[in-house]
Amino acid sequence: MKQLALTKSLCAVCALAVLAALLVVGAGSAGASATGGAAFVPPPPPPKKAKVVGGKAIAPRNAPERVKRIIRAGNRIVDKPYKWGGGHRSLKELDSGYDCSGTLSYALASARLVRSPLTSGSFMSWARSGTGKWVTVYAHGGHAYMVVAGLRLDTSMRDDPSRTGPGWSKRLRRNDAFQARHPRGL
C-alpha cells in the first residue's frame, strides 16, 4: 500500500515537472527567452519540387525569388535548339540556340548569380562546393547541367529525344563524374 502511494506521488511529481518544462519552452518560443536569448524560430519547411507542365517548369510557391527567376529564365529558352557556343555572347539577349553551359549561364544570370557566361569547366569551381538546398550545378570539363527545385535543366538526356537544346526533366541522372556546386543560401 505504501509502495502504491509512493508511486502515485512520484508520478504526480514527474507530471508536474514535464508540465513546467513545457510551459518554459512554450514561453520561450513566444518571444525572447528569460535569459535574453533570441526567440525560438522553427526551421523553414523543406523545399517542394517544381513541376513540369507542357515542357515548362512551375516553381513551388515557397521557392525563393532567385529560384523562381532561374526557372522563368530556363522556361524562356527551352524551345531553343542546341547550338555549340550558344548563349555565350550575351546574357541579356536571347540567342538562337544554347549549349549546356550557355543554358546555365543564362538561367543563373537572371538571378544575378553569374556576371558573364561560363564554360562547363569553369562551373567546376564556381560558387560553393557540394549540393544546395534549391540549386545545384553539376559540371565536368565537357558538360554541365543543374537541378533547380528538384528538376533537371539540361541539354542532354531529354525526355523527348527528338528535341535538342535546353529542357526540364523530372528524371535525374548519374552525377558521379561531375563536380557539384551551389550558390550560397540556395
Task: Give residue 161's pLDDT.
Answer: 77
Collapsed DSSP state (helix, strand, coil) of residue 100 = helix
Segment-wise mean pLDDT, segments of 10 residues, the chain, 186 residues: 43 41 40 48 64 95 96 96 94 94 98 97 97 96 96 86 89 92 96
Per-residue b or e along 69-83, where b marks 16 or more CB atoms closer than 10 Å to that residue's CB: bbbebbbebbebebb
Start-end of CATH 3.90.1720.10 domains in the chain: 51-182
Cβ-proximal residues to 89 (8 Å cutoff; 6+ apart), any chain: 95, 117
Distance from CA of residue 136 to its chain's centroid? 7
Asked if residues 179 and 124 have their Cβ atoms less than 8 Å apart, the reply is: yes
CATH match for 51-182 among 2.60.40.10, 3.30.70.360, 3.90.1720.10, 3.40.50.140: 3.90.1720.10
Which neighbouring-strand residues pair with 144? 139
Task: Give residue 48's pLDDT.
Answer: 80
Task: Give residue 17's pLDDT.
Answer: 41
Task: Give residue 163's pLDDT.
Answer: 81
Task: Give residue 39's pLDDT.
Answer: 55
User: What predicted TM-score, i.e. pTM, was given to this entire model?
Assistant: 0.74
**Region at 79 (left for phi over 0; alpha for psi -120 to 50; beta for the rest):** alpha
| Cα distance from N-terminal residue to C-terminal residue, the chain | 63
